[in-house]
Amino acid sequence: MEIEQFLGKRYVLVSHENFEDYLLFLGKGYLARKAALAMRPEQALVANDCGSYTFSLRSTLVNSAITFTPGEEFVEEKPDGTKAKAVITIEGNKMTHIQTEQDGKVSTHVREFFPDQMIVTGPKALTRPKMELARPEGACSLWP
């Protein structure tokens, strides 16, 4: 499978495992963790001109988007306002996102795209976090 068949399709979070442990690893406070755990974000990847992509996250609490060229380092502003150095690569149906926080902590997130779902695995902190996102019924494209 190639990533092109999943471009512009939106996926909604339906479950997560060990996500709070990951937020603790990043040093997030109680309220930030509880807010993040309550979100049910939608995520989508689109191709832009000149070989770049935009990965978007939308929720009731926060919206964010990052534009990147695969394999090139960039400074990412995360939804909570913190900045990290990041590199994203794409191979087949997998998007690998490596973030280096200002304190030196490194997180690797692998998003595996499928026709009906996206599986996200995070870094090994204490236990490996995992999220499952599903295509909403009747969804055919990015947000209207």
d(CA 111, CA 43): 11
pTM: 0.81
User: How do residues 91-107 score in pLDDT, each as one tens digit?
Assistant: 999 999 999 999 898 88
d(CA 31, CA 12): 22
Closest CA to 58 of 97, 11, 26, 94: 11
HEC-encoded secondary structure of 90-133: EECCEEEEEEEECCCCEEEEEEEECCCEEEEECCCCCCCCEEEE
Name the token pair of 2: 């190639």
Name the token pair of 120: 């996200």
Low pLDDT (below 50) residues in the chain: 126, 143-144
Name the token pair of 4: 């092109």
Residue written as token pair 């939308």: 58
The pLDDT assigned to 24 comes to: 81
Q: What are the structural domains of the chain?
A: 3-134 (2.40.128.20)
